[in-house]
């Protein structure tokens, strides 16, 4: 239903740790695998073995280079899927009601049976989280693995999104961001989690944990706090042997 619910019981979403993501694309492919075989139409690929391969993915990992004013450039791997926005413009633009936000958990879904493949929702999404499947002609997007997280055919510990379950570095966290006391909310509070493009007013549920301060030495300028640790015990090899005798006595 195109109207956004005024309130959702939960705000399920992902917290992505940019300090830890190594950019391995594991989440990208496990997402492709799960969602090809599950919810809705398979995620198809065009020209799969040819000159211009292209296909539908619900999660993609970008990488950026950031040049600080001082110190070396940094590289940040940046996974991105649907952020399950509270004020999801993709939902309200949808003419058919195929796009909707679930009342019970806030997941934004596409009901493929209703979708006309007009693409307007993809236009409305600032984050590039929606891709129109070229084979099926319907809009695909991250389902937050709605068919895993409640799935009674899966063991309890597997009831989490495929991408979270697979992430080798543990850079992806899943939970209820509407509940202040959830692990994910605490993590966001602790690490200063942020919204992407807040100026778009979409109020994303997913949060990003910014990279921690890197290359600290370049910023502090002075690295001599540790210098006493390297205070020579002797100026030369001979001296060291003298020191050694004394040091060994103490052992």
Partner 1 sequence: MHPAPSIILFTVLSGLGFGLMIFLGLGMPSPTGLSAFIWFAIAYILAVGGIISSTFHLGNPKNILKSFSQWRTSWLSREGCLAVATLLVMGVYGAALVFLNMRIPLLGYVGSALALATVYGTSMIYAQLKTVPRWNHPTTSVMFIAYAVSGGALLAGQVSLAVWFLPAAALLQLFIFLTADGRFGAAGSTIASATQLGNIGSVRQFEPPHTGSNYLMKEMIHVVGRKHALKLQIISVVLLFTPVLLLLLPFSHALALVAVLAHVAGVIVARWLFFAQAEHVVGLYYDKR
Partner 2 sequence: MGFNQPVVDTSPKVSDEVRKTTCYMCACRCGINVHMKEGKVAYIEGNKDHPVNQGVLCAKGSAGIMQVNAPSRLRAPMKRVGERGSGEFEEITWEEAYDIAVSKLKPIRDEDPSKLAFFTGRDQSQSFTSLWAQGFGTPNYAAHGGFCSVNMAAAGIYTMGGAFWEFGQPDWDHTKMLMIFGVAEDHDSNPIKMGLGKIKARGAKVVGVNPIRSGYNAVADEWVGITPGTDGLFILSMLHCLIKAGKIDLDYLSQFTNAPVLLDETDGSAEEGLFLKDKDGKALVIDRNTGKLAPFDGKGVYPDLAGTHRKAGVTHRTVFHHMIERYMSEEYAPEAVAERCGISAKRIRKLAAELADVAFNQAIELDRPWTDFRGKKHDKMVGRPVSFHSMRGISAHANGFQTCRALHVLQIMLGSVETPGGMRFKPPYPKPATAHPKPHCKVTPGAALDGPHLGFTHGPDDLCLREDGTAARIDKAFTWENPMSSHGMMHMVISNAHAGDPYKIDTLFMYMANMSWNSSMNTSGVIEMLTDKDEDGNYVIPNIIYSDAYSSEMVAYSDLILPDTTYLERHDCISLLDRPICEADAVADAIRWPVVEPDRDVKGFQSALCDLGARLGLPGFVNEDGSQKYEDYADYITNHIRRPGVGPLAGWRVGEDGLQGGRGDVNEAQLDAYIENGGFWMEHVPEDAAYYKPFNMGYQDWAVKMGFFDAVQPYIFQLYVEPMRKFQLAAEGHGERQPPEHLRERIKHTLDPLPIWYSNEPENLADQYPVTALTQRPMAMYHSWGSQNAWLRQIHGHNPLYVPTKIWEENSFEEGDWAKVVSPHGEIVVPVAHMAALNDNTVWTWNAIGKRKGAWALEENAPETTKGFLLNHLIHELLPANGDGMRWANSDPITGQAAWFDLKVRIEKSDVAGQTLPDFAPQKSPVGKGPKDLAWKLGK
Q: What are the residues binding ligand SF4 (CB under 6 A)?
A: 21-27, 31, 34-35, 58-59, 61, 77, 79, 81-85, 88-90, 93-96, 98-99, 108, 110, 115-121, 125, 127, 129-130, 139, 141-145, 161-163, 167, 169, 171-172, 202
DSSP assignment letter at 157: G
> Does 231 help bind partner 2 (rule: CB under 8 A)?
yes
Residues 197-226 that bind partner 1 (CB under 8 A): 197-201, 208, 210-211
* Distance between CA atoms of residues 138 and 202, nearest Å: 23
Only one of the segments 73-81, 148-156, 158-166, 233-241 lies at the binding site for partner 1 (rule: CB under 8 A); that segment is 73-81
> Does 54 help bind partner 2 (rule: CB under 8 A)?
yes
**Cα 139 versus chain centre, distance:** 21
The single residue listed with the structure tokens 């280079």 is: 65
Residues 68-107 that bind partner 2 (CB under 8 A): 72-77, 100, 102-103
* Distance between CA atoms of residues 32 and 48, nearest Å: 14
> Does 33 help bind partner 1 (rule: CB under 8 A)?
no
In whole angstroms, the minimum distance from the beta carbon of 125 to partner 1 comes to 7
DSSP assignment string, 68-116: -SSS--EEEEEEE-----TT-HHHHT-SSS-EEE-TTT--EEE-TTT--
In whole angstroms, the minimum distance from the beta carbon of 229 to ligand SF4 comes to 34
In whole angstroms, the minimum distance from the beta carbon of 199 to partner 1 comes to 5
DSSP assignment letter at 178: T
* Distance between CA atoms of residues 215 and 69, nearest Å: 12
Q: Output 50 or 235, the one with its CB closest to partner 1.
A: 50
Residues contacting partner 2: total by CB under 8 A? 98
Inter-residue contact 166 to 59 (CB < 8 Å): no
* Distance between CA atoms of residues 183 and 195, nearest Å: 18
In whole angstroms, the minimum distance from the beta carbon of 148 to partner 1 comes to 23
DSSP alpha helix (H) spans, 150-191: 162-166, 183-191
Only one of the segments 53-61, 85-93, 121-129, 198-206 lies at the binding site for partner 2 (rule: CB under 8 A); that segment is 53-61
Residues 101-160 that bind partner 1 (CB under 8 A): 113-120, 122-128, 131-134, 136-139
């Amino acid at each position: 239903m195109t109207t956004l619910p005024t309130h959702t019981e939960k705000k399920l979403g992902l917290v992505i740790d940019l300090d830890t993501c190594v950019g391995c694309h594991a989440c990208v492919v496990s997402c492709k695998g799960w969602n090809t075989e599950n919810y809705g139409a398979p995620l198809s690929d065009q020209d799969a073995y040819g000159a211009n391969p292209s296909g539908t993915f619900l999660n993609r990992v970008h990488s950026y280079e950031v040049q600080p004013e001082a110190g070396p450039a940094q590289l940040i791997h940046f996974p991105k899927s649907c952020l399950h926005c509270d004020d999801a413009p993709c939902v309200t633009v949808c003419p058919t009601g195929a796009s909707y936000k679930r009342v019970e958990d806030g997941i934004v879904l596409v009901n493929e049976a209703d979708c006309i493949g007009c693409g307007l929702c993809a236009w409305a999404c600032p984050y590039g989280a929606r891709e129109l499947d070229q084979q099926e002609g319907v809009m695909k997007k991250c389902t937050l693995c709605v068919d895993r997280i409640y799935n009674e055919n899966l063991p309890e510990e597997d009831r989490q999104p495929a991408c979270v379950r697979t992430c080798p570095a543990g850079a992806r966290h899943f939970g209820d961001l509407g509940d202040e006391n959830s692990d994910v909310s605490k993590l966001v509070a602790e690490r200063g989690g942020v919204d992407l493009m807040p100026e778009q007013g979409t109020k994303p549920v997913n949060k990003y944990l910014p990279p921690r301060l890197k290359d600290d030495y370049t910023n502090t300028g002075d690295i001599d706090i540790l210098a006493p640790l390297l205070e020579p015990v002797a100026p030369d090899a001979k001296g060291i042997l003298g020191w050694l005798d004394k040091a060994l006595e103490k052992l």
